[in-house]
Homo-oligomer: A and B are copies of this chain.
Amino acid sequence: MSATPAGGTSARLLISCPDRPGIVAAVSGFLFAHGANIVSSDQHSLDPEGGRFFMRMEFTTEALDLGRDELGREFAREVGDGLEMDWRLSYADEPKRMAVLVSREEHCLLDLLWRNRRGELDAQVELIASNHPDLEPDAAAFGIPYHHVPVPPGGKPEAESALLELLEGRVDVVVLARYMQILTGAFLDRVGVPLINIHHSFLPAFAGADPYRQAERRGVKIIGATAHYVTEELDAGPIIHQDVARVSHRDGVPELERLGADIERAVLARAVKLHLDDRLLVHEGKTVVF
């Protein structure tokens, strides 16, 4: 959202720590002392009296008096350690490496690839993997490697091993763009990077299978989609973004699926962008979105 400087690059500092007076002064003082100019700043406190404090600062790096590694070490030493901070530094010119998992429906995948191509999503898309071969031509049109990793009945362990081999150490984030397989806790433990999923309902309504059928049966007047970080408990991870569309008695399940596809791709793309731009912090099963 905020304008990045035309020349040079920018860095983002994400912080989570116990709230106390002086945090903003300490961080901004440190950055000023080392030649950074803060171009954007967001903060949130759960409770100024002993709650958790969250902050995101974006700053220019042209005039920094330290290298990237040094800056991190100095920040820890001068500020972070003393204030018991969890913190993360990232740079706009080091885009995250991303994998997309998908099944047969192409709308979310295509939208991500198209936004990536036009520079809207700042990621290096390393690979696409799918339990079906159908979307290989779409991947090819964007020049992204496509891996068909089938999941036959009883074959989930082998499939997850194959996926892990593709992913481990090679990507920074995995996006489930309508990947219709449930991933095991063992897989999530081993993959070691965040996963973002799009669920085709307005969670927590209609968790689980066939949400549009559930919605049609209940006669709701609005449907939605939810992008969330994946945790072992199905459809219960921290919600990143949601959106909705108005429907009526005229809309049967096929119409809900069609309308829903538009929301799904928009919500997922937005959630992925927030993650890529380092605008998300997770705390106690919920997200702080800067």
The chain A residues found within 8 Å of chain B, CB to CB, are: 1-3, 5-6, 20-25, 28-29, 31-33, 35-45, 47-49, 60, 63, 106-107, 110, 114, 118, 120, 141, 202-206, 218-222, 224, 238-244, 248-252, 255, 258, 262, 266, 285-289
Contacts and interface: CB of A to CB of B under 8 A. Distances in A.
Q: How many copies does the complex hold?
A: 4
21 contacts: A2-B44, A3-B45, A5-B48, A21-B32, A21-B35, A24-B28, A25-B33, A28-B28, A38-B43, A39-B48, A40-B43, A120-B258, A202-B205, A202-B222, A203-B220, A204-B206, A220-B239, A221-B239, A221-B289, A222-B243, A249-B288
Contacts of A288: 249
Contact of A110 (B32, B40, B114): B114
Contact of A2 (B22, B37, B222, B250): B250
Q: For the complex, would chain A's binding face be called helix, strand, loop or mixed by DSSP majority?
A: mixed
Contacts of A141: 141
B32 A25 contact: yes
Contacts of A63: 21
Contacts of A239: 218-221
A139 to B, nearest CB: 12
A25 to B, nearest CB: 4
Contacts of A29: 25, 28-29
Contacts of A203: 205, 218, 220
